[in-house]
């Protein structure tokens, strides 16, 4: 009946392929593997480990990526006294999914049971590192490391690893900030250069002053900004001197000598500043 069902599914649904296998076929296998695991779990719950084992094995055969089923096989084998087989299953789980945390716990417990402190510490440490703060099994891992007498050393390693990670993050953040300052300064420099080309020296000076205020950590860029700012400032001052001079002449023609004097004073002040800068 099951075979007939699979044939009907394959007949009525178009086939797509995943890693060389028809997608419908893969999906059916996964569904069937979960059904086998469910049967295995029912038998295990009743204490029938020998009966549960074939169902778990069939589940992992039909879906080799089904880490829960692989882990179940390891648990049953361990309960039946086959420690080597259990170890192989737990390690196989981690080969498929290195983030499947129950496998680390099972390996740690089993190695601890065997008196293998080195390997027990390794897997408790991995479970401790991968767990979240406040998580039940993270605390269990810490307690076992304390019992084994290796927690202080593991804690030191973890703290050193955390410090290195923080250090890398700080360096990365500083580098990002440095690049951002260079980018912002370059933007204002380019705007200033464009304004210079248009003859808008007053606005060019403002943009270049903004670029300088960012203090870009790039000496070559900073020097280019300083040089352009100096040119823009001279040209802007020259324009102001000429404008004030022309306004002063207009005021003299109107016999407004007091205001003309102020304009000439501003013009001369600008001229002297240019001469001083040169």
What's the mean pLDDT in 105-131? 92
> Which of 47, 65, 96 corresponds to the end of one domain?
96
What's the mean pLDDT in 60-81? 95
**Within-domain flag for 231:** yes
**Within-domain flag for 119:** no
Confidence band for 1, pLDDT divided at 50, 70 and 90: very low
36 pLDDT higher than 80? yes
Tell me the CATH number at 85: 1.25.40.10
CB 172 within 8 A of CB 148: no
pLDDT of residue 9: 41
**Within-domain flag for 4:** yes
**Within-domain flag for 17:** yes
Judge if 81 and 184 occupy the same domain. no
pLDDT in tens, 223-265: 999 998 888 888 887 777 777 788 778 878 887 877 767 777 7
Domain of residue 75: give its range: 1-96
**Within-domain flag for 197:** yes
**Within-domain flag for 128:** no
**Within-domain flag for 29:** yes
pLDDT in tens, 153-174: 666 666 666 667 667 777 778 8
59 pLDDT higher than 90? yes
Our count of domains for the chain comes to 2
pTM listed for this prediction: 0.50
């Amino acid at each position: 009946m099951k075979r007939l069902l699979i044939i009907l599914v394959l007949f009525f649904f178009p086939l797509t392929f995943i890693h060389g296998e028809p997608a419908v076929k893969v999906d059916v296998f996964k569904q069937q593997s979960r059904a086998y695991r469910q049967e295995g779990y029912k038998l295990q719950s009743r204490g029938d480990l020998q009966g549960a084992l074939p169902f778990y094995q069939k589940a992992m055969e039909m879906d080799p990526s089904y880490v829960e089923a692989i882990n179940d096989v390891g648990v049953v084998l361990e309960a039946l006294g086959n420690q080597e087989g259990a170890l192989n299953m737990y390690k196989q789980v981690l080969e498929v999914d290195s983030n499947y945390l129950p496998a680390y716990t099972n390996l740690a417990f089993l190695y601890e049971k065997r008196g293998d402190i080195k390997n027990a510490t390794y897997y408790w440490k991995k479970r401790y590192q991968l767990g979240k703060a406040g998580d039940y099994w993270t605390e269990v891992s810490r307690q076992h490391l304390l019992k084994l007498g290796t927690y202080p050393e593991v804690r030191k390693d973890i703290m050193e690893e955390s410090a290195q990670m923080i250090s890398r993050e700080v360096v990365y953040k500083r580098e990002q900030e440095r690049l951002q300052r260079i980018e912002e300064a370059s933007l204002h420099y380019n705007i200033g250069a464009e304004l210079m080309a248009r003859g808008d020296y007053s606005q060019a000076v403002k943009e270049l002053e903004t670029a300088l205020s960012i203090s870009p950590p790039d000496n070559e860029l900073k020097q280019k900004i300083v040089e352009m700012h100096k040119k823009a400032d001279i040209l802007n001052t020259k324009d102001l001197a000429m404008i004030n001079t022309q306004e002063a002449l207009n005021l003299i023609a109107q016999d407004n000598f007091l205001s003309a004097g102020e304009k000439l004073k501003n013009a001369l002040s600008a001229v002297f500043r240019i001469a001083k800068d040169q």
